[in-house]
Chains A and B, each alone.
Chain A
């Protein structure tokens, strides 16, 4: 397996959905290729980064503004 084939399996690998034989070949490549190991690590970290970046804003916004609550309740009244 080359790097080009290796990256195709990243998503399935981290989801633990890679069939046994492919998984073994994939891991054998990783064993030999430091560059793909860094890439895999950063692929995983990218998911973490997007989660942290996009959900950090949630905390202060957890309550719906009162004017919007009222608008929604009014709309529900007519629905």
Chain B
């Protein structure tokens, strides 16, 4: 048996029917076709391989159990993605929380008359170029890990997983306004954490 058996691809409509009917062959197909991408999602959120694998399994079980709620007009990939994010977040909540560094220390500071205390130096090249280097990518990932958990998850859901403010608020059980504030602060904190790596890059 090959490593990656590729079952014949069904179109979205046939897939949707198979999902709602709980067709085992269709579920096998979606596990094989979408599972890898879902594992990437749960890995990003959980940063632990065993927990990420468990979350993918939880996600498929939860997808199977809620199959009758799957709406024919939504995309299978979007439906599964949301379920996987949710499964990872549930797992994250059940994990022991590590003590958080307050985010304030990473936010910009101002003089009494409201100007920035720091003088910012423009980065030498576009971030996508700099971060395409392995070491810089690694240091950006480490910086994201340094964000307090409640900020890191908002940043992941909004900027990486592409959820909108409302969806993020619902998943995290916080208000849309709290999502906006945390996202903004998370981005500013991350900017200051990655600045040394992006500044120091030699083109």
Contact A57 B60 (CB under 8 A): no
A47 cross-chain contacts in B, Cβ below 8 A:
159, 187
Contact A54 B183 (CB under 8 A): no
Contact A64 B35 (CB under 8 A): yes
A26-65: CB near B (< 8 Å → 1, else 0) gives 0000000001101101110111111111111110011110
A42-B195, A54-B44 given; A72·B35 CB < 8 A: yes
A-B contacts at CB below 8 angstroms, number:
153
Q: How large is the interface on B (under 10, 10 to 19, 20 to 34, 35 or more residues)?
A: 35 or more
Secondary structure at chain B's binding surface: helix, strand, loop or mixed?
helix
Which chain A residue has the least Cβ–Cβ distance from B161? Answer: A54
Instruction: Indicate if A5 sits at the interface (CB-CB under 8 A).
Output: yes
Interface residues, chain A, CB within 8 Å of chain B?
2-5, 7-8, 10-11, 35-36, 38-39, 41-43, 45-58, 61-64, 66, 68-69, 71-73, 75-77, 79
Interface residues, chain B, CB within 8 Å of chain A?
3-4, 24, 27-28, 31-32, 35-40, 43-44, 53, 56-57, 60-61, 64-65, 108, 110, 113-116, 119-123, 126-128, 130-132, 136-138, 140-141, 144, 155-156, 159-160, 180, 183-184, 187-188, 190-191, 194-195, 198
